[in-house]
Structure 1
Amino acid sequence: MAMDHEELAAALFRILETGDPGLAAQVVGPDNHNREAAVAPVACATPGPAGTLASGAWLRSAFSGLRFPVLGVARNEHQVWIRLRMQGRHTGPFVRFRDGALDQAVPPTGRDIDFEQVHLLDIRDGRVVRHEAVRDDLTMLGQLGVFPPTPALAARMVAWKVSGRAARAADRVSTLAAEAAGLASGHRAAAHRRA
């Protein structure tokens, strides 16, 4: 049975929470473009369901109990705006990328995150074909102790970078994202390069 626009929007975030490939194939169009993949592993920019599955693997590797409670939805004939919260516990390294390379690795803090996002989804032929977002990333980074940096976390981040743990974490999360996308297991982002 076909989903309406609101159901498609909610299902997109269930894919991020669960990594369900069957749901991804049903909800995400083969030419879907995720404009928000710029700070994610390279595999997250893969068009279609594969990129969505990669994005979910990347987020779940950093945040256990990942969930996206919906606060509101608006729509027109071809678009959905969905306001939600991103929630979870920071139990794995949160690795951010720039141009496919390691930009920042935040070691696990055990802290909870809970912040708002608004996503714009384009719908065509009953599937999501484009995704953009306005996220409150500063609040999330503040909740993790990154911005402004707590002295303890800043010291851990420097130690991770100097010891190579940050690069290894970037390589690991890039591999997880590529595997979730169904790309060759040897595919890895150039995450080990330092920006």
Structure 2
Amino acid sequence: MAMDAKDLAEGLFRILETGDAALAREVVGPDSHNREAAVSPAACSIPGPAGTLASGAWLRSAFSDLRFPVLGIARNDDQVWIRLRMQGRHTGAFVRFRDGVLDQAIPPTGREVDFEQVHLLDLRDGKVVRHEALRDDVTMLGQLGVFPPSPAVALSMVAWKVSGRAKRAADEVTKLAAEAAGQARG
């Protein structure tokens, strides 16, 4: 039975939470594009289920108990707008990229994140084919102590960069995302 627009939207975020490759193949179109992949490892930019699985692995590597409680959904025949919260505990390095290169590595803080996002999903032939988001990254970075910078987090980030741990974390999450993308073939 085909999923309706609401099921597709909720399914996309279950994939990010769980890494469910079978669900990714059911929900995400083969040519799906994630506009938000620019700050994540290169594998997250792969079209289709592979990129979605890579994105989930990247997020779960930084945030344990990752979840996306839905606050509201609006839809028409070919688009879904979903308002939700991103929640989890920052227990792994949160590595952000710019043009495929390490931009920032935030060492684990153990802090909880809980902030709102709105996502726009384009649908075609019963699948998600495009994703873009409006995220409150400033609130998330504030919850992690990055913006405005807390002295402890700022020192930790500098120490990671100088010691090479930031680069190793970027290499590790890049590998993890690529491995997750490989599961799309199932």
Q: TM-score normalized by structure 2?
A: 0.98
Q: 2:80 maps to which residue?
A: 80
Cα separation, 2, equivalents of 1:85 and 1:59:
14
Q: 2:45 maps to which residue?
A: 45
Q: 1:27 maps to which residue?
A: 27
Post-superposition shift, 1:10? 0.3
Cα separation, 1, equivalents of 2:44 and 2:135:
17
Post-superposition shift, 1:119? 0.2
**Runs of 4+ residues deviating >2 angstroms:** none
Cα separation, 2, equivalents of 1:130 and 1:119:
10
What CA deviation, in whole Å up to 9, does each residue of 1:9-61 have, x standing for no partner? 00000000000000000000000000000100000000000000000000000
What CA deviation, in whole Å up to 9, does each residue of 1:142-162 have, x standing for no partner? 000000000011001000000
Residue 171 (1) aligns with residue 176 (2): no
Query: How does 1:1-195 map onto structure 2 within 5 Å?
Result: 1-182=1-182
Q: 1:190 maps to which residue?
A: none
Cα separation, 1, equivalents of 2:68 and 2:156:
29
Cα separation, 2, equivalents of 1:38 and 1:58:
13
Cα separation, 1, equivalents of 2:134 and 2:48:
21
Cα separation, 2, equivalents of 1:175 and 1:128:
25
Cα separation, 2, equivalents of 1:153 and 1:18:
28
* Partner amino acid, structure 2, of 1:100: G
Cα separation, 2, equivalents of 1:155 and 1:82:
37
Cα separation, 1, equivalents of 2:152 and 2:15:
34
Cα separation, 2, equivalents of 1:179 and 1:152:
33
Secondary structure of the corresponding residue to residue 147 of structure 2: coil
Cα separation, 1, equivalents of 2:16 and 2:147:
25
Post-superposition shift, 1:76? 1.0
* Partner amino acid, structure 1, of 2:43: A
Post-superposition shift, 1:77? 1.2
State, as a whole percentage, how many aligned pairs show the same letter.
Answer: 80
- Long gaps (5+) in structure 2: none
Secondary structure of the corresponding residue to residue 181 of structure 1: helix
Cα separation, 2, equivalents of 1:40 and 1:60:
12
Q: TM-score normalized by structure 1?
A: 0.93
Secondary structure of the corresponding residue to residue 44 of structure 1: helix
Secondary structure of the corresponding residue to residue 95 of structure 2: strand
- Long gaps (5+) in structure 1: 184-195
* Partner amino acid, structure 1, of 2:96: R
What CA deviation, in whole Å up to 9, does each residue of 1:98-138 have, x standing for no partner? 00000000000000000000000000000000000000000
